[in-house]
Chain A
Amino acid sequence: MSEPLLRVKDLTKNFKVGGGFLSRNAALVHAVDNVSFDIQSGETLGLVGESGSGKSTTGRCILRLIEPTGGEVWFEGRNVAELSAAAFRSLSRDMQIIFQDPFASLNPRMTVGAIIGEALTIHGLASSKQAYADRVAQLLETVGLQPDHMRRYPHEFSGGQRQRIGIARALAVEPKLIVCDEPVSALDVSIQAQVINLLEDLQAKFGLTYLFIAHDLSVVEHISRRVAVMYLGRIVEIASAHDLYARPLHPYTEALLSAVPVTDPKARRKRIVLQGEVPSPINPPSGCHFHTRCPIRQLPLCSAEVPPLEQKRDGHWAACHLRS
């Protein structure tokens, strides 16, 4: 197998909460806990999980929008976490992000042209004013907007159009990897499909690699080649999209899949309704984080030992003591 475009190894991020500035014993939120995965060039890896599972933090640590506490992020054979600020800036051309909220992620006081073109200026990618304007116009057309939209402001656009602007901004520097952080969850379903199709078209056209973070399992299954499932900061299962959905191994993945309502009233399925709620990441359960809600747990094993993420079948990894 060739060198992956992105290799994440034992990535960890703890946040301090509470305590305040005079207190010594602030609690730690274990947002991301020894997460490792690879993404091959040109593929889409989906990252799913519920609120607080650490999926967005993982995405942001990769881009160093949040400084990781520990672990390594290798991009094309270079450790991103060790680069100096200057060296990282040039690398950041290759890695871009699209955010969830198209209302909060565009500066309302900048024109669309300035928003998309800012990175061109920063990275010195436009040789002249004309080249700059041409490039912005071309980017707008690429994402299905009109070149004359560049003189307008974000508030003049709908949610779906704003998400297109965010995509054009990410594309401006010709990145290799785009972290898509819940890019369609704020959109209505009919618009959601437009944006998903656009992301797929752009991937085919520019050979992009995506880390696609979302809580909506059906969207992730649709767009991803492989999918990783996170629970309380850890990856509990990772497999090809088809394998994961057809033959999930981890009991959390099973419950998550069975909880998704499907648009077929005749297929009202037997649902695995998990008892209780996701425990606090400040003081997560011992052993397997999922053992407090797991329908098949075996104590004391599951509460005593952290199950390693192991390859159980070809290309299908899961972290469970009981499933093989």
Chain B
Amino acid sequence: MAEPLLEIRGLKTYFATEDGIVQAVDGVDISIARGETLGVVGESGCGKTVTALSVLKLIAMPPGRIVAGQILYQGRDLAPLSTAEMDRIRAKDIAMVFQEPMTSLNPVYTIGEQIAEVLRRHEGLSRKAALERTIEMLRLVQIPNPDKRVHDYPHQFSGGMRQRVMIAMALSCSPKLLIADEPTTALDVTIQAQILELLQEMKSRFGMAIMLITHAMGVVAETAQRVVVMYAGKVIEEAPVEALFADPKHPYTQGLIRSIPRIDTAATRKARLEAIPGVVPSLLKPPPGCRFAARCKHAMPRCRDAVPPLLDVGGGHKVACVLYQPEMAA
């Protein structure tokens, strides 16, 4: 296999709080190939956003700290880089789109100024060239009348249009990796469909890899090629998208998929939803062993002994669960 574009190895990002250390990301391995769309799914607090922010080193330090691990981008470790060195990576190599397009644009600058700033800083374009390129980018993300709208302020755009602006800004320097953190969560479903389609179009045009972080299993199923499932700061399953939905291995993934009502099944009977009992554990003092054990219907004593490693069960399908550990099964 070719060298991955990005390889996260053993990442641990902790936060110091008044109550103690929160182990938000605790030993995560994720790799993304060139041009691939990787979905990272999980519920609130599973560490998916902190993982993404760690890659770009956008974690507030303190209270946050990358305690261990490597973030290899094209073979080079980003973890020890200085702020100035990271600045050269951001935007040109790795760019990010955030969930909330309201708060991630500066309200006192026009959107043109904000996109042009990126271009002038990272591409060294002149004011005039940056403006032209900005208008071109706005046209690409299908904002009507881009030559007029470029002089508008963020509040003059709707939520969906702001997200288009964010995508234009992120792609303005043709990054090789786009990290999209819940890019459609704040949007209505018809606007979500537009933005997901735009991301696909931009991907086929620019050929970048996308790390799509979301809590919505449906969004992942429709856009990603490979999926990583996170729970309580750890990766618990990883698989090609078809395999994950056809044959989820980890009891948590199974529960997650079954707890979602589906509208595509034309069933007249309405089966009761399979809820996962209990709640996500606190990451202040995570339980020893498998962090899902307390909510798992297959839990057995040895689940609490040690953290199950993420093992390949064939076809690139990896799962961290004692049910699939061959030597233990005997």
Chain A interface residues (CB < 8 Å from chain B): 50-51, 158, 160-161, 188-194, 196-197, 200, 215, 217-219, 221-223, 242, 245-246, 255-269, 271, 273-274, 277-278
B259-A218 in contact (CB<8A): no
Contact of B255 among A160, A190, A242 (CB under 8 A): A190
CB neighbours (8 Å) of B215 from chain A are 188-189
CB neighbours (8 Å) of B147 from chain A are none
B188-A262 in contact (CB<8A): no
CB neighbours (8 Å) of B219 from chain A are 261
CB neighbours (8 Å) of B221 from chain A are 261-265
- Binding stretch for chain A, among B8-16, B22-30, B48-56, B265-273: B265-273
B154 CB to nearest A CB, Å: 16
Given A261-B216, A261-B219, A266-B242, check contact A189 B262 (CB 8 Å): no
B261-A222 in contact (CB<8A): yes
Contact of A278 among B188, B266, B276 (CB under 8 A): B188
A273-B263 in contact (CB<8A): no
Report the Cα distance A265→B191, complex, angstroms: 20
B190-A193 in contact (CB<8A): no
Report the Cα distance A261→B96, complex, angstroms: 23
Most chain A Cβ neighbours within 10 Å, of B160, B246, B255, B261: B261
A219-B261 in contact (CB<8A): yes
Given A188-B44, A215-B189, A274-B190, check contact A265 B263 (CB 8 Å): no
CB neighbours (8 Å) of A256 from chain B are 189-190
Report the Cα distance A86→B194, complex, angstroms: 49
Report the Cα distance A223→B219, complex, angstroms: 22
Contact of A188 among B43, B190, B266 (CB under 8 A): B43
Chain B interface residues (CB < 8 Å from chain A): 43-44, 158, 160-161, 188-194, 196-197, 215-219, 221-222, 241-242, 245-246, 255-257, 259-264, 266, 268, 270, 272-277, 279-280
CB neighbours (8 Å) of A266 from chain B are 242, 246
Report the Cα distance A259→B246, complex, angstroms: 22
Closest A residue to B198 by CB, please name it.
A273
Report the Cα distance A50→B160, complex, angstroms: 13
Report the Cα distance A147→B189, complex, angstroms: 40
CB neighbours (8 Å) of B270 from chain A are 222
Closest A residue to B241 by CB, please name it.
A265
Report the Cα distance A262→B189, complex, angstroms: 12
Closest B residue to A50 by CB, please name it.
B188
Contact of A189 among B193, B242, B260, B279 (CB under 8 A): B260
B88 CB to nearest A CB, Å: 36
CB neighbours (8 Å) of A246 from chain B are 266
User: Can you sample 30 A-B contacts with CB below 8 Å?
Assistant: A50-B189, A190-B255, A191-B275, A193-B259, A193-B273, A193-B274, A217-B263, A218-B263, A219-B261, A222-B261, A222-B270, A222-B273, A223-B261, A255-B190, A256-B190, A259-B190, A261-B196, A261-B216, A263-B217, A263-B245, A264-B264, A265-B241, A265-B242, A265-B245, A268-B222, A274-B190, A274-B193, A277-B160, A277-B161, A278-B190
